[in-house]
Structure 1
Amino acid sequence: MERASLPDVSVVVVNYRGAEDTKTCLRALYGELDYPVDKLQVVVVDNASGDGGADAIRAAEPRADVVEAPANLGFAGGCNLGVEHARGAVVAFLNNDARPHRDWLRAAVRVLLDEPSVGAVASKVLDWEGRAVDFVDGGLTWFGMGYKRHAGQPDDGSHDAPRDVLFGTGSALVARASVFRELGGFDERFFMFYEDVDLGWRMNLRGWRVRYEPTSLTFHKHHASMSEVDSSRELYLLERNALAALYKNFSDETLARVLPAALALAVRRATARGELDPTQLEITRRPADPADDLAPVPVPRQALAGFLAVDRFVELLPSLAASRQVEQAARRVTDADLVPLMRKALEPAYPLPRYLAAHDVLVDVFGLDEVFGRPRKVLVLTGDVISARMAGPAIRAWHMADVLSAEHEVRLVTVNPVCDPPDAPFGVLRVARRDLEPQVDWADVVVLQGHALEFAPKLKEPGSTKVVVCDVYDPMHLELLEQSRDDTDEKRAADLTAVTRVLNNQLVRGDFFLCASERQRHFWLGHLAALGRLTPSLYDHDRTTRSLIAEVPFGLSAKPPHRTGPGLRETLGLPASDKVVLWAGGVYSWFDPLTLVRAVDRLRGRRSDVRLVFLGMKHPNPEVPDMDVAGQTRSLAQRLDLVGSHVFFNETWVPYQDRQNWLLDADAGVTTHYEHVETTFAFRTRVLDYLWAGLPIVTTDGDSFADLVRREGLGVVVPSEDPGALADALEKALYDEEFAAACAERIAVVRERFTWENVLAPLVDFCRNPRPAADRLPGSSPLVRNRPLAKKDRVLRDVRLVKEYLDAGGPGEVARRATGRVLKKLRGHG
C-alpha cells in the first residue's frame, strides 16, 4: 500500500490499574508498528483506576490522547468512550496487555481497503511468547456462548489462511469507524465478556463481514484485568451476557425454540458446576427430625453465578427488548446464513455428565437440530406462465428453482394468471400481486426477473434489508425499441421511459445480478456505472466485477434427450426421408423469419424435400400479444405457396417436457434476426435446445450465439437479410452429412458447458453465502479522504492553475475562473 492510500487510524486502549502494561503496549505502537505516525492516533481510556495510572501514562507517552472515564465503564464502555475521541476512519481496539506485531495494523487495513463488504478485521492473537493460540477463530453455541476455537493449542501454521468469522476478539480488532458507530458500538450492558461476540454477530446480521486475517498479528498476556477477581464473577458475566446476546440477535422463529431451552440449560449448568444434589428437596427425602428440614442449604458461588445471571437477565429484559427491536429491523441476513460461522452450534461446551445429559434432552425436545440445520429459503419470482407450455423467462426461473432446491427450500412463484405446473421437487405457487408480500417476507433470498420487482414495492423501500438477486438476462428496453416500431412516437417514448425505469430500479436495488453473455455484462456494466454502483472500493476488491454481475446463460438438461412420444414428423405427417430444419422458439418482432422463408423458397428449387417447421406460433402467456411479424411470416409463406408443403406452422406451443420429441425429428436448427442493437445484446434462449439435441445450427451473424457457433464450429453463420447465403447454409447443414457429423461431435463437447448445473454455478455460489452488496450496507463510508492542503501546497496548486488557464484562454479565462471560485466560496458560507 502506498502511504497516501492509507486511512487515518485511531487505536483505542483501555487501562484499568495496569499502567505498566499499557506503557509497554504504547511503546510497541509508537516504536515498532509499521504505520505512518501522522496517520495514527492512540486513545488511552483510563477506566477510573484511581492509582495515578493516567498521569503516569501521559508522562511516559505525551503523543497519546489520554481520556479519563468518570467511573469504571468496563471494557465495552471504555472502548466506546475512546471512539468518541477517535478521529480516524478506522478504529482499532487493542488490549493494554497486548503487543502488536509490526504488521498488525497495515495488514488489517489492507483487508478493509481491498474488501468493501468487510466491516471489521479479526486479528490473529497468540500468547505472549508467540507459541500458543489465543484467537484464530470464533464459535457460538445455540445457547449464546461465544468461544475461542483452538485456544491453547500450539500455533502450528494450520490457522494461517484468512476466513470469514462470526466475531473477532476485542483484544485485537480493527473496524470501519462508520460501521462501528452505525451499530452503536459495543453494548455497554455487557461490561466485559461477549461484547465482542455481540458486536460481530450484529455486524454480520446487518450484512457486513468479519474477516480473520492471520498476518494482522498480536501477542496477549490474557485476562490481566481479571487475575485478582474470583472466577464466579466471571462466570456470572459469561452466563448473563450469553442470554443477552442470543435474546437480541436470534430471529423470532429461532428465539422461540432457543430461549426456553437456554434458560433451562443455564440452571442445569449451575447445579452441575456446584455439584448440587438435584433431588435434595424432594418431598420423599425429608429428614426424620423436622428441625433438620429447616437447616440452610449451602450453594457454591459457581452455582450461584448461574442463578443470579438468569435473575439479572430478567431485570435487563425491558432494555434488551428495545435493542432487539432495532437489531431485528436492521438485519440483512438470516440465522441460516450465519450457522456456518457458528462453526458447531450444537457444541455443548462443558464436559459435565449431568449437564451433557440435559443438553441432549433439550436439543431433542425443542428440535434444535432442525433449527440449526434449517435450509435457506429462496424465492424465485417471475411474471411468466408456469405450465407444461413455458416461454424463456419461465423456463429459466423453473431451472433456477430446480438447481437451487438441491441445497435450499425453494418456492417458484408467478404472478401470472396461468399457473398449471408439472410435477416439481420444489413448491410452485400462483399468487396475486396484491398478495405477494407474505411470500417475500418468507424468503431469505429473492431471485427475480422482468417486472417482478415492481410487484413487490417493499423491496424498493430504502430500509429494505432483503437480499435480492436480479436476473437481467433480458434487455427489455432494447426489445421494446424493435417491438414498438409500429406505435406512435409518443407511445414509444413513454413505454421506453417506463421499462427503463423498471430496469433502473432493479440495478439500484439489487445485491447481485445475472446476465446471459459477456456482451450483456459489458452492457449492464455501463448501466451500473451510470447509476453509481461501480464504486472504487468494489473495483479495488474485484477488478472483474463478477462479484456484482455474473454471466449465467441459458442452460440445457445434463440428461440427453430421449423420445417419450410422437414428434413433428408424426404430428405433421412428414416422412423420415424429408430434411427438416426447426425454428424452436417464438416468432417475435426482433427476429427475421421472412428471410428464412425466402431462403427455403430458393432452396426447394434444388432440394424438393426441404422442410421448415416453426415449433410454436402462439405464445403461452396470454399477456403477450401476437406480433405482426408472425402474421407477415404466414402471409409470405402462403404467397410463395409453401404452407403445408415446405413450411409448417405449429400454432400452439409444444409442451416443454415434450419438446425433445420434435427436436429429435429435426436435422438442423435455425435462428435468424435483423442487424440492430437488440440482436447485439440478445441471447437466443431456445438455441440451447439445438445444442441439447446435437443439431447443426444455422444462425444470422451479430449476436453472442453467432460468435459461439463460429468459434466452436457448431454450424454456419450467415449475414443478415441475405436469403441466398441462408439457403446455401441450410443446404450445407441439412445435406452435407460429413459436415453435420463433425458439427455434432463438437456440439457434444460444448453442450457440457451449458448444462443448467454448470451455468447456474454463480447463482448457486451466491446463495450459499448471500450478502447485501457492499455499497448498500449501512455505515458504508470511504476510508481515505482528501486532507486539506498545507499553505505552501495551496500556493503551488494555484500557480499551476493560473498557468493552465492562461494557456487555455488568456487573462480572460483567468478572470472568469477566479470569479467562479469567489462565488463558490460565498455560496459555501451562505
Structure 2
Amino acid sequence: MVSVITVNYHGTDSTITCLNAARELDYPPERLELVCVDNESSAESAERLGALDGVKLLTSAENLGFAGGCNLGARAASGDVLAFLNNDAVPGAQWLRAAVAVLRAEPTVGAVAGKVLDWQGSRIDFVDGGLTWFGMGYKRHAGELDDGSHDGARDVLFGTGSSLFVRAEVFEALSGFDERFFMFYEDVDLGWRLNLRGWRVRYEPRSVAYHRHHESMATVGSAREHYLLERNALAALYKNASERTLARALPAALALTVRRSTARGEVDPRQLELDRRPDDPREDEAPATIDRQALAGVLAIDQFVESLPEFKRARETEQRLRVRSDADLVPLMRRAMEPAYPLPRYLAAHEALVDAFELEDVFGGSRRIAVITGDAITERMAGPAIRAWHTAEVLSVEHEVRLISVNAEVTAPDAGFAVLRASPRELPSHVDWADVVVAQGHVLEMMPELKRRDSGTIVVCDIYDPMHLELLEQGRDTDEQRREADLRGTTEVLNAQLRRGDFFLCASQRQRHFWLGHLAALGRITPPVYDSDPTMRSMISVVPFGLPSSPPSRTGPGIRGERPGIGADDKVVLWAGGVYSWFDPLTLLHAVHRLSERHPELRLFFLGMRHPNPDVPEMGMAERTRELSEHLGLTDKHVFFNETWVPYGRRQNHLLDADCGVTTHFEHVETTFAFRTRMLDYLWAGLPVVTTDGDSFADLVRDEQLGVVVPAEDPEALAEALERVLYDEAFIARCRERIAEVRQRFTWEAVLEPLREFCRDPRPAPDRLPGSAPLTKTPRPSRSAALRRDVDLLRDYLERGGVREVTRRAAGRIRRIAGQRLGGRRLNGRETG
C-alpha cells in the first residue's frame, strides 16, 4: 500500500494536474492512496481539490510549509510507503512501481530518490545530491542534458522532496521532516538523518518525474531564498555533525556565511577600518545602505542562534540515535570541500578557513576504531593479543586506532597506534570515542550498554576462538557441576555477541558454517538480513590468523647452541604453541621415543609451557606431558621444555633453528572447528609441517602439500611422518617450495582485507535498523474467518486428544501471546500493548 502525498500552496491548477497524473500510474489502484494537503486553504481551493475523486484532502488554515504539510499528510496516510511528490511535478507511468521494487528487494534501503527531469524531460533536475562541509546541500548535474550517463542506480545522501519514497515506519521513527526548516533542506536533513541511523537512500533512475522547477519560489525573491538557505544549512550542520566535526566546521561555517553574504552584496569589507575614517566624523553616524543579499547571511546567523535551544534538543536526539560516523558519509557528500560559489573574495576566504581549521583532515574519511582484548599485551603475547595487535596495526594505516586491553599486563612495544590499558569502568569512554569497536573474548560482557541491540555503536565480534568447545576439554580437570556452569556461561557470552554484533570474524570456512548455525538458531538470519546479502558474507567473513609479510630475519640466538643438549647438527622438531587440554602431546612423545632409537640426534622442543596471561591457569595436560617425558627418559635428552613464553618479537630466532613444525591433537568437536594459530609461524619460517588430521589446518597441509597429515593417536604413523619431513630431502624441498607460495595468502594484510573493507563503510546489521518492519504484511483475517479457523482447530484438537489436548494448546497460546508482548516491551524499552 502506497500513499502519494502532495502539498498545495496557491497552486491548485498544478496540484490538480499532478493528482490526475498520479491516477494514471502503472500500479494497482486498490493499493494506491492519494493524499493532498492544502496549505493556507481557501474556500475555492478546498472546493476544487475536494471534488477530485478518490483524493483524501486535508486543509490547513495556515501555511505549514513543505515540511509541515508533508508531515500532516503522512500522519493521515495509511500506506506502508509514503511517496512525496511536488504539486508542480507529474510522475511517469513507472514512477511508483520502480521505487517500490527497490524497497522490496533491498531491506536496508529506507528511502528511494527518484530521477527528476525538467517539464520537457530533456534536462536534469535531480540525479544525485551533494553536501558541502558547511552544510549546504545541492543537486549535482542540475541543468545538464539527460544524456543517459545517470541511468545507473546508486546510494545517495539525500533525495529531493519533489520525488521521494520513504518507508512509513522509518519516516515515523525519524519524526518525519523537521518542520523548523519550513522550506529548503528539509529533504537534505531527512536524508542525512536516514544515513546516520544506518538506512540507505537509493537513487533509482527508472522512477522518473517531471518538475516545473521552483514554481513555488517565484514570488519569494533571491535575498529571502539565500537567507533560508544560509539559516537551514547551519541548522542541518549543527543537528547532524558529530562533536568532533562540529568543533572544527561550525566556527568556519559561521565565518564563511558572513563572507559569502558580503561578497554577494559587494560590501566594502574595510569601510570601518580606522584608516578609512571620513574627514567629517558625522558621516560615521549616518545610516549605511546594505544590499539585502549582504543582509541575508547576517540575519541567517542571528536566527540560527535564536533557534539554538530547540535545535540543541534535536541534536541530542540525532547524536544519541546515530549508528554511522561522519567519515562514513563523506563518500556520499561527493565533494565535501566544494566552495559552491564562484566569487573571488569568497573563494579566498574558503581556502583560508579550510586551511586554518584543518578541515581536509576532518572530512578525509578516516574513522575511529577501538580494538579491545582481554589478553595481556606485552613482549610475550598469546594468540588473542597477537591477533588484536595486528588487527590494530593493519587498520591504523587508514584509520585512527586504539588498541585497548582490560588485562593488568600492558607493557607494549612501540607501535604506530595508541596502546592503552583500561579497567572495565573506563571502557565506556573509549566506546564513546569510537565509530567502530572490534571486540574479542569476554570483552562485551564488561560493557552492558554496548550489548544492547539499540546501541548506536558498530560492533565487530571476533569469534575466531570457539571458547565453549575448548571448555569441553579444558573443563575435564574440574568437577562436573562447575564444568556445566562454566560451559553455560561461556556459551551465553558467545550468544550475547552473536545477538549483538554487526559483523563477525571467524578463522575458517568450517567455523563460518558453524557460526552460521549459531546465528540461525538465535534468529539472526532474518529475511531482511538474507535479502540484503544471500551469501551472508557482509555479516560473517573468514579472517584466519595471519603472519608477517616480510620473511623472518634472525636477531639473536634461538635454540641451537643456547639450550644445553641441542647441538648444531641435531634435527629439531618444534612445538610452537602452548600445551593445552585439547592437544595430544602424549602421542608425540611416544613417536619421538620410537624415532630416537633410530635417530639419536632427534630433538623435540616445546616453545612455551606457561601462558603469558597470568589469568590463564596451567592445564593438566602440561603436567601430564612433563611426567610422560620423564617416564620415557626423554627429558633434556630428546625432549626439551621452555617454561617461559618466548617474546613475540624474538620467536623467529627459535623458528629458524627448527627443521620442522608439529602439532598433534585428539579427535573431537573442538578439533573440527579449531584453527591452530601458531601453525602459521611454521609457514612463515618455511618449515614442513606434521599435523594430526581433523581440523581445517590439516586440510590446508594436505591440499597444498605442505607436510604430512597423520591419524589421531597413532604414534607409529607420527614417527614415520617426522622421519619423512626430517630426512627425505626431495620431499622437504617440495614442501618448502609450496610453503613459499601459500604463505603469501596468509599475511596479516591479506587475511584482514574483509575487516578493512567493512571499516571503510561500516553499517549496522540490517536486523538492527530501527523501523525495519516488513514492507508488506499478511492481512489480518476477518472476525468470521478467525472464528472459523478456531472452530476447525478446536475440532482437530478434540479428535487428537480430547479436552486435555484442548487445554494444553490453549495454555500454549496464552504463554506465546504473553511472551510476544514481553518481547515487545524489551525491544522498545516501553509498553507496547
Normalization by structure 2: what TM-score? 0.93
Letter in 1 for 2:59: E
Letter in 2 for 1:629: M
Does structure 1 retain, via aligned residues, the 8 Å contact 2:108–2:532?
A: no
1:516 aligns with 2:507: yes
User: What pairs with 1:39-58 in structure 2 (closer than 5 Å)?
Assistant: 39-50=31-42, 52-58=44-50
The 1:44–1:628 alpha-carbon spacing in structure 2 relative to 1, beyond 3 Å, is same
User: What pairs with 1:59-458 in structure 2 (closer than 5 Å)?
Assistant: 59-60=51-52, 62-288=53-279, 292-373=283-364, 375-458=366-449
Distance 2:32 2:14 in 1: 20
The 1:819–1:13 alpha-carbon spacing in structure 2 relative to 1, beyond 3 Å, is farther
Picking from 713, 728, 736, the partner of 2:728 is 736
Letter in 2 for 1:600: V
Does structure 2 retain, via aligned residues, the 8 Å contact 1:115–1:538?
A: no
Distance 1:536 1:736 in 2: 55
Deviates more, 1:810-819 or 1:460-469: 810-819
**3-state DSSP class of the match of 1:380?**
strand
The 1:68–1:823 alpha-carbon spacing in structure 2 relative to 1, beyond 3 Å, is farther
Distance 2:384 2:804 in 1: 60
Q: Which position in structure 2 is the counterpart of 1:603?
A: 595
Q: Which position in structure 2 is the counterpart of 1:768?
A: 760
**3-state DSSP class of the match of 2:589?**
helix
1:690 aligns with 2:688: no
Aligned-pair identity (%): 65
Picking from 664, 668, 677, the partner of 1:676 is 668
Q: Which position in structure 2 is the counterpart of 1:21?
A: 14
Does structure 2 retain, via aligned residues, the 8 Å contact 1:118–1:208?
A: yes
Deviates more, 1:91-100 or 1:809-818: 809-818
Picking from 566, 578, 596, the partner of 1:574 is 566
Letter in 2 for 1:29: A
Distance 1:72 1:715 in 2: 80
1:537 aligns with 2:528: yes
Q: Which position in structure 1 is the counterpart of 2:749?
A: 757
1:721-754 Cα shifts (integer Å, max 9, x gaps): 1111211222222222222222222222222221
The 1:782–1:246 alpha-carbon spacing in structure 2 relative to 1, beyond 3 Å, is same
**3-state DSSP class of the match of 1:766?**
helix
User: What pairs with 1:403-802 in structure 2 (closer than 5 Å)?
Assistant: 403-461=394-452, 463-572=454-563, 573-789=565-781
Gaps of at least 5 residues in structure 2 are: 819-832
Letter in 2 for 1:308: L
The 1:598–1:276 alpha-carbon spacing in structure 2 relative to 1, beyond 3 Å, is same
Does structure 2 retain, via aligned residues, the 8 Å contact 1:412–1:426?
A: yes
Distance 1:566 1:824 in 2: 72
1:373-423 Cα shifts (integer Å, max 9, x gaps): 373111111111112211100110011011001001111111111122222
Distance 1:554 1:142 in 2: 40
Distance 1:791 1:371 in 2: 59
Distance 1:769 1:599 in 2: 51
Letter in 2 for 1:649: F
Distance 1:250 1:770 in 2: 17
Letter in 1 for 2:772: S
1:552-588 Cα shifts (integer Å, max 9, x gaps): 1111111122222222223225334332221111100
The 1:821–1:220 alpha-carbon spacing in structure 2 relative to 1, beyond 3 Å, is farther
Shift of 1:436: 2.5
**3-state DSSP class of the match of 2:622?**
helix
Shift of 1:450: 0.5
Does structure 2 retain, via aligned residues, the 8 Å contact 1:17–1:51?
A: no
Task: Give me the CA root mean square deviation.
Answer: 2.6
Normalization by structure 1: what TM-score? 0.93
Shift of 1:55: 3.1
Distance 1:596 1:34 in 2: 74
Does structure 2 retain, via aligned residues, the 8 Å contact 1:382–1:413?
A: yes
The 1:639–1:46 alpha-carbon spacing in structure 2 relative to 1, beyond 3 Å, is same
Does structure 1 retain, via aligned residues, the 8 Å contact 2:452–2:500?
A: no
Distance 1:322 1:496 in 2: 46
Shift of 1:80: 0.4
Distance 1:145 1:363 in 2: 16
1:203-255 Cα shifts (integer Å, max 9, x gaps): 22222222223233322221121123322221121111111111111222322
Shift of 1:791: 8.4
Does structure 2 retain, via aligned residues, the 8 Å contact 1:512–1:549?
A: yes
Letter in 2 for 1:464: S
The 1:691–1:105 alpha-carbon spacing in structure 2 relative to 1, beyond 3 Å, is farther
Shift of 1:812: 6.0
Q: Which position in structure 1 is the counterpart of 2:821?
A: none
Distance 1:628 1:540 in 2: 48
**3-state DSSP class of the match of 2:561?**
helix
Does structure 1 retain, via aligned residues, the 8 Å contact 2:798–2:806?
A: no
Distance 2:627 2:807 in 1: 70
Does structure 2 retain, via aligned residues, the 8 Å contact 1:267–1:307?
A: yes
Distance 1:91 1:612 in 2: 72
**3-state DSSP class of the match of 2:560?**
helix
Distance 1:471 1:821 in 2: 43
The 1:50–1:446 alpha-carbon spacing in structure 2 relative to 1, beyond 3 Å, is same
Deviates more, 1:554-563 or 1:396-405: 554-563
Gaps of at least 5 residues in structure 1 are: 1-7
**3-state DSSP class of the match of 1:410?**
strand
Does structure 1 retain, via aligned residues, the 8 Å contact 2:477–2:620?
A: no
Letter in 2 for 1:143: F
Distance 1:115 1:828 in 2: 30
Does structure 1 retain, via aligned residues, the 8 Å contact 2:114–2:207?
A: yes
Deviates more, 1:379-388 or 1:663-672: 663-672
Distance 1:827 1:748 in 2: 59
Deviates more, 1:584-593 or 1:493-502: 493-502
Distance 1:826 1:587 in 2: 49
Distance 2:586 2:516 in 1: 34
Letter in 2 for 1:410: V
Q: Which position in structure 2 is the counterpart of 1:5?
A: none
Letter in 1 for 2:142: A
Shift of 1:827: 11
**3-state DSSP class of the match of 1:569?**
coil
Distance 1:822 1:705 in 2: 51
Shift of 1:673: 0.7
Shift of 1:285: 3.8
1:700-733 Cα shifts (integer Å, max 9, x gaps): 1111111222222222221111111211222222
1:533-553 Cα shifts (integer Å, max 9, x gaps): 111111111111111111111
Does structure 1 retain, via aligned residues, the 8 Å contact 2:330–2:365?
A: no
